[in-house]
Amino acid sequence: MPPPTDRPDPLAAWRLTAPPHYQPQADEVALFTAAYAARLPVMVKGPTGCGKSRFIEHMAWTLGRPLVTVACNEDMTAADLVGRFLLEAGGTRWQDGPLTLAARHGGICYLDEVVEARQDTTVVIHALTDHRRCLPLDKKGELLRAHPDFQLVISYNPGYQSLMKDLKPSTRQRFTALDFDYPAAALEAGIVARETDLDPARAAQLVQIAHAARRLKGHGLAEGISTRLLVNAATLIVRGVAPRAACRMALVRPITDDADLRDTLDHAIDAVLAP
């Protein structure tokens, strides 16, 4: 709920309105809670679609904090994070960027897939991630002291690391870190069933197909079938799409255009979903 005040809540749009479903895999909830209590920045690492963003949403809800999410990309500038002056009929007006907004008013700022941003952009977070907890707004001539409730969280996929797309050591060492992976088979099947109301036995079959694909990672596939894709396939099945067609559409076609790999995965689908 918004804090009791007569003034508008500047983070109202970033407050979650319902508890996100998240099933813990280990002790990540307790570890994140401890990091937030100490206001330590957190780095969440793991493959695409394994639940990193859902975990951060769950923690924001659990901690009662608004979650200011930024989807990082290579065109993002420091001004996109920090803010800029806008021209108006009566002159200029400063508008806080999402990072500044969270730091000023006490939100959790989540930079999703941070390595997609240019390194000269991510440098602006450095002063917020150590004992200073401040953000220099050079264009505005302001040194913003972070709100006591502010926390910075970043995520990225180590599978996409390269010399051109990786965090500098000077950035990495400012964060605590949590490693994520796809859930264990039974847990993942339970997540898929709960998210979509799919029959648990059918959900277990989808997970079996996903495991067959994940074994091909590094052998033609850059990424395996994610939990997110399993939810997509289950959603199609619940809506009446034939299971095999749903799996081909949601699990195989999004991850590869290679004809041989498609045939291999299609055969795995046929084998698992055999009558």
Element housing 93 (H / E)? strand 91-96
Read off the pLDDT band of 221 (50, 70, 90).
confident
Q: What is the pLDDT of residue 3?
A: 52
Is 60 exceeded by the pLDDT of residue 91?
Answer: yes
Element housing 23 (H / E)? none
CB 12 within 8 A of CB 2: yes
Strands 142-145, 151-156: pairing is: unpaired
The encoded tokens of residue 102 equal 């969270």
The encoded tokens of residue 239 equal 């809506």
Helices of type H across the chain: 28-37, 52-63, 78-82, 98-105, 119-122, 169-172, 185-196, 200-214, 227-238, 243-247, 259-272
Task: State the Rg of the chain over Cα.
Answer: 21
Read off the pLDDT band of 168 (50, 70, 90).
confident
In the sheet where 108-112 sits, what is the strand order?
A: 67-71, 108-112, 151-156, 42-45, 176-179
What proportion of the chain, given as a percentage, has pLDDT over 90? 80
Predicted model pTM: 0.90
In angstroms, rounded to a whole number, what is the distance separating the alpha carbons of residues 141 and 161? 36
Strands 151-156, 42-45: pairing is: parallel
Q: What is the pLDDT of residues 224-256, one digit of tens each?
A: 899 999 999 999 999 999 999 999 999 999 999
For tokens 């813990």, what's the residue? 24
CB 77 within 8 A of CB 120: no
CA dihedral 188, 194, 200, 206 (to 10 degrees): -50
Of residues 223 and 230, the one with the higher pLDDT is 230
In angstroms, rounded to a whole number, what is the distance separating the alpha carbons of residues 123 and 67? 21
| Planar angle of CA 32, 115, 38, nearest 5 degrees | 25
Q: What is the pLDDT of residue 5?
A: 55
In angstroms, rounded to a whole number, what is the distance separating the alpha carbons of residues 55 and 32? 10
Q: What is the pLDDT of residues 103-145, one digit of tens each?
A: 999 999 999 999 888 878 888 999 999 999 999 999 999 999 9
| Planar angle of CA 160, 165, 167, nearest 5 degrees | 105
Question: What are the start-end ranges of the E strands in 97-239?
Answer: 108-112, 134-137, 142-145, 151-156, 176-179
Is 90 exceeded by the pLDDT of residue 53?
Answer: yes
Beta-carbon-side half-sphere exposure of residue 61 (alpha carbons within 13 Å): 13
Alpha carbon distance, N-terminus to C-terminus of the chain: 50
Sign of CA dihedral 127, 29, 223, 192: negative
- Helix and strand numbers (H, E) in the chain are 11, 9
Average pLDDT for the chain: 92
